[in-house]
């Protein structure tokens, strides 16, 4: 089999993004664009991947990690110059090199595979992935000879009126015979509208030498979309969203409105789960089967078991058992862990706490730094007083305890198994098991107090 190499161009600043963040690090579906490309390349059987870094080099390297190699392009003199930087790593090698841009996040491994196969089967020196664009503005146009063979690529800024009418565009993805690529790059000049060394000029030079050049047209323009500005970023986000949502619908997930449901790339969802509009699932999230999520619910970096319902709530870095009912309007903050059949109602905030099976906090509570057993009922308005302004302390509520409404549990404190805390209590001392704790002032009645009010 032919050796396969890849060059990922990711050194540009992305001036048109008008951003502090380097272009290829802008996320689409929560994942940086260049990471999308790296992940897709991973399944294409590539022997060596070289990423060209420049602007934000350290950040790009940090993002992509150490599994691939990097070449530094100190000055960004154009895409041809970018690929030249890979010469030291790849220059003399025999094989095929696929060149991709870090700003085409929708490109799939399947399309790259087809392009590689086409190129290798035809034994071409270069094969360009092209697409038909309804609006080709901004892209390089593919000029063909009368016999349909590829003549050259003309950049938008160098194109004359007739060339601008062409709707077949250069997607910025190519396959080359590796040696030919590096030999030909040396002949690329920068006498053009942008004063840059253009990688696509390799195509024209090879044509003039009578070499075999192919164009492989992608079926779907959207997949090859290049993101140069925020408008294209949002268009890419939309395409990625619909692609991901379609995948989950085919896996048996009901998505009521795919236009308004945002699922990250590191999410898994079980069959017969329903996602209502306004659901956003970010980072590593796993959702079981038969769950009901949303409307208007954000879940990030969390695990949710089967049959759980979460309505109008925010869940972050938490683990939730089966058949749990959450919301509306609950907030689960990091390190919350709920057992099965738990109920967390409206305006309940949980943080760094565990709650056993069948426990409930149905209304208006803050429970932080707490270990709550199973079968516990936390009454409306009860809170753990976990913070003295300097340190945090633990509240323990053992199995089957009942915390009356509006109680303050001043940590560190333990309420023993099966005990009752009377409503309105401020508990400062441990409550033994199977006891009743009342910690509030007795009610005083001043009979007729207001009858003689004028005399006060």
The tokens describing 174, both together, are 């190519």
Q: Does residue 12 touch Ca ion according to CB under 5 A?
A: no
Nearest-approach distance from CB 73 to ligand UD1, in angstroms? 5
Q: Does residue 223 touch Ca ion according to CB under 5 A?
A: no
Q: Which of 303, 280, 237, 241 is nearest to 28 (CA)?
A: 237
Size of the residue set binding Ca ion (CB under 5 A): 3
221 or 366: CB nearest ligand UD1: 221
Nearest-approach distance from CB 228 to Ca ion, in angstroms? 5
Half-sphere CA count of 329, side-chain side, radius 13 A: 6
Nearest-approach distance from CB 80 to ligand UD1, in angstroms? 7
Residues in 234-293 that interact with Ca ion by CB under 5 A: none
Q: Does residue 103 touch Ca ion according to CB under 5 A?
A: yes
From 118, 292, 296, 363, the catalytic residue = 363
Q: What would the DSSP string read from start to end of 217-266?
A: E-S-GGGG----SHHHHHHHHHHHHHHHHHHHHHTT-EES-GGG-EE-TT
198 or 216: CB nearest ligand UD1: 198
153 or 304: CB nearest ligand UD1: 153
How many angstroms separate the CA atoms of 61 and 196, rounded?
Answer: 25
367 touches, from Ca ion, ligand UD1, none (C-beta below 5 to 8 Å by class): none
User: 10 Å Cβ neighbour count for 440?
Assistant: 14
3-state class (DSSP) for residue 363: strand
CA 69 to the chain's CA centroid: 24
Q: Which of 306, 337, 342 is nearest to 327 (CA)?
A: 342
How many angstroms separate the CA atoms of 286 and 269, rounded?
Answer: 6
List of residues 6+ apart from 250 with CB closer than 8 A: none
Nearest-approach distance from CB 344 to ligand UD1, in angstroms? 45
Q: Is 132 a catalytic residue?
A: no
11 touches, from ligand UD1, Ca ion, none (C-beta below 5 to 8 Å by class): ligand UD1
How many angstroms separate the CA atoms of 339 and 359, rounded?
Answer: 8
Q: Does residue 398 touch Ca ion according to CB under 5 A?
A: no
Torsional sign, CA 118, 120, 123, 125: positive
Nearest residue to ligand UD1 on Cβ basis: 140
265 touches, from ligand UD1, Ca ion, none (C-beta below 5 to 8 Å by class): none
Nearest-approach distance from CB 104 to Ca ion, in angstroms? 7
How far from 421 is each of 353, 354, 370, 371, CA to CA, in Å? Answer: 20, 20, 16, 16
- The residue with tokens 């934000």 is 56
Contact between 107 and 115 (Cβ < 8 Å):
no
101 or 407: CB nearest ligand UD1: 101
The tokens describing 90, both together, are 């790849």
141 touches, from Ca ion, ligand UD1, none (C-beta below 5 to 8 Å by class): none
Nearest-approach distance from CB 182 to ligand UD1, in angstroms? 16
List of residues 6+ apart from 269 with CB closer than 8 A: 248, 251, 253, 263, 275, 281, 286, 287, 291
How far from 429 is each of 155, 165, 355, 366, 396, CA to CA, in Å? Answer: 77, 81, 21, 19, 12
How many angstroms separate the CA atoms of 308 and 341, rounded?
Answer: 8
140 or 375: CB nearest ligand UD1: 140
228 or 317: CB nearest ligand UD1: 228
Which residues contact ligand UD1 (rule: CB under 6 A)? 9-12, 23-24, 52, 54, 73, 76-79, 81-82, 101-103, 139-140, 153, 155, 169-172, 198-200, 226, 228
Packed helices 109-122 and 33-42: angle between N→C axes, nearest 10 degrees: 50
Q: Does residue 226 touch Ca ion according to CB under 5 A?
A: yes
Nearest-approach distance from CB 102 to Ca ion, in angstroms? 9
How many angstroms separate the CA atoms of 61 and 304, rounded?
Answer: 33
52 touches, from Ca ion, ligand UD1, none (C-beta below 5 to 8 Å by class): ligand UD1
226 or 327: CB nearest Ca ion: 226
81 touches, from ligand UD1, Ca ion, none (C-beta below 5 to 8 Å by class): ligand UD1
Nearest-approach distance from CB 131 to ligand UD1, in angstroms? 9
153 touches, from ligand UD1, Ca ion, none (C-beta below 5 to 8 Å by class): ligand UD1
169 or 338: CB nearest ligand UD1: 169
Q: What are the residue numbers of the active site?
A: 363
Q: Which residues bind Ca ion (CB under 5 A)?
A: 103, 226, 228
């Amino acid at each position: 089999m032919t050796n396969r190499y890849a060059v990922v161009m990711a050194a540009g600043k992305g001036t048109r993004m008008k951003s502090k963040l380097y272009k290829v690090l802008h996320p689409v579906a929560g994942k940086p664009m260049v990471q999308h490309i790296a992940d897709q390349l991973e399944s294409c059987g590539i022997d060596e991947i070289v990423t060209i870094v420049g602007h934000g080099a350290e950040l790009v390297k940090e993002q992509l990690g150490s599994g691939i190699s990097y070449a530094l392009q100190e000055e960004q003199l154009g895409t041809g110059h970018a690929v030249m930087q890979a010469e030291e790593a790849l220059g003399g090698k025999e094989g095929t090199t696929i060149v991709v841009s870090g700003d085409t996040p929708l490109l799939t491994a399947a399309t790259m595979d087809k392009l590689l196969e086409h190129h290798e089967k035809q034994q071409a020196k270069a094969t360009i992935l092209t697409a038909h664009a309804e609006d080709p503005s901004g892209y390089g146009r593919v000029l063909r000879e009368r016999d349909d063979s590829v003549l050259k690529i003309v950049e938008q800024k160098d194109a004359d009126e007739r060339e601008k009418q062409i709707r077949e565009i250069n997607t910025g993805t190519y396959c080359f015979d590796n040696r030919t690529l590096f030999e030909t790059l040396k002949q690329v000049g920068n006498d053009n509208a942008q004063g840059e060394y253009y990688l696509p000029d390799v195509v024209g030079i090879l044509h003039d030498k009578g070499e075999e050049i192919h164009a492989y047209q992608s079926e779907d323009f959207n997949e090859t979309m290049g993101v140069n500005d925020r408008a294209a970023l949002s268009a890419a986000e939309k395409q990625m969203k619909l692609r991901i949502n379609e995948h989950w619908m085919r896996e048996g997930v009901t998505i009521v409105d795919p236009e308004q449901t945002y699922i990250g790339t590191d999410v898994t969802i079980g069959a017969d789960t329903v996602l209502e509009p306004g659901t956003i699932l970010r980072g590593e999230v796993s959702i079981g089967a038969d769950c009901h999520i949303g409307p208007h619910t954000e879940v990030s970096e969390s695990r949710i078991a089967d049959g759980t319902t979460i309505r109008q709530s925010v869940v972050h870095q938490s683990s939730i058992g089966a058949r749990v009912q959450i919301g509306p309007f609950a907030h689960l903050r990091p390190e919350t862990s709920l057992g099965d059949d738990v109920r967390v109602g409206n305006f309940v905030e949980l943080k760094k706490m565990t709650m056993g099976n069948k426990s409930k906090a149905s209304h208006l509570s803050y429970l932080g730094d707490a270990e709550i057993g199973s079968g516990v009922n936390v009454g409306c308005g009860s809170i753990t007083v976990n913070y003295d302004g300097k340190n945090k302390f633990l509240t323990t509520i053992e199995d089957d305890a009942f915390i009356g409404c509006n109680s303050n549990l001043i940590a560190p404190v333990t309420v023993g198994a099966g005990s009752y805390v009377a409503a309105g209590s401020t508990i400062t001392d441990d409550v033994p098991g199977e006891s009743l704790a009342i910690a509030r002032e007795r009610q005083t009645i001043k009979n007729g107090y207001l009858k003689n009010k004028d005399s006060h």
